[in-house]
Structure 1
Amino acid sequence: MKGEEDILQQHGLKNTKLRKAVLSVLIHAEKGLSHQDLSRALDVDFDRVTLFRTLHSFEDAGILHKIIDPNGTAKYAYSAADEADKDHCHAHFICLKCEEVFCLEDSFPLKDVKVPRGFKKNTLDVQVKGICKECNN
């Protein structure tokens, strides 16, 4: 796996302490993280607006993707290089008890989704909802 600096350079983004720290936290996270989760996990000085801007620029660059949980809270997850293909998407599991969001390995090709004549498809969002392993115990 590439390092944080390599990923930022590959996407033409400035190499800052906050960007490297956010990227590191997202790469090592096992689930989607909210703005608040990220704020608590970061060990560098930052302000809320700069963190929002960083997340937005990462999303625009395809470094991360955003999933909305059942409460409408945005959760962010790292998008590995092989996930950058906009013609496919992976599914997300959303726990109905703890509301955590997990990326699943299954991939779905956008070309296989049929839409009415004259419609243009851009993205596909697949969510599986249920109870996670932790809550199921």
Structure 2
Amino acid sequence: MKRRNTPTKQAVLDLFESCSTALNQEQIECQLHEKMDRATIYRILNNFCKDGMMHKIVADDGINYFAMCKNCCDHLKHDHFHFRCTECNQLICLEEKININLPEGFVLETCNCVITGICKTCQK
């Protein structure tokens, strides 16, 4: 669906285009220079997900993170692992594809795989 672009949507989009990691609501609010209410940000992010521009990751900490679909070939399936650093809290998309063999008759709709650990930067 073609949606009207607004300065608010563009600000969120610009933030994600300049970022190499997934972001959660708090991180987005801190990095946006203009004030936006939480509901507006979530509505924008959820619409970006519906439109295949982003995907949502529910991390092990129960927080929703959003990532720009930069390397996703199929924007409807984001079948890759995510890594969340427990030190700096960054969440990144990994290139490794997930292969899941479901029983006959089962249909995969979404998959959410988050690996936790300490990133290379935090190990130094």
Query: TM-score scaled by structure 2?
Result: 0.84
Percent identical among aligned pairs is: 30
Report the equivalent of 2:87: 97
Unpaired runs of at least 5, structure 2: none
Unpaired runs of at least 5, structure 1: 1-10
Q: Give the aligned CA root-mean-square deviation in angstroms.
A: 2.1
Alignment check: 8 A CA contact 2:59 2:114 kept: no
CA distance in 1 between partners of 2:118 and 2:71 (Å)? 29
Moved runs in structure 1, 4+ residues, more than 6 A? none
After TM superposition, the structure 1 stretch with the greater mean CA deviation from structure 2, 77-86 or 37-46, is 77-86
- Cα gap change, 1:27/1:33 in structure 2, threshold over 3 Å: closer, same or farther? same
Aligned residues between the structures = 124
Secondary structure of the structure 1 residue equivalent to 2:39: helix
How far apart are 1:21 and its partner, in Å?
0.6
- Cα gap change, 1:54/1:87 in structure 2, threshold over 3 Å: closer, same or farther? closer
Select the structure with the greater relative contact order (CA < 8 A; seq sep ≥ 6): 2
Report the equivalent of 2:64: 74
CA distance in 2 between partners of 1:69 and 1:88 (Å)? 14
How far apart are 1:56 and its partner, in Å?
1.1
Query: TM-score scaled by structure 1?
Result: 0.77
Secondary structure of the structure 1 residue equivalent to 2:50: helix
Greater helix percent: which structure?
Answer: 1
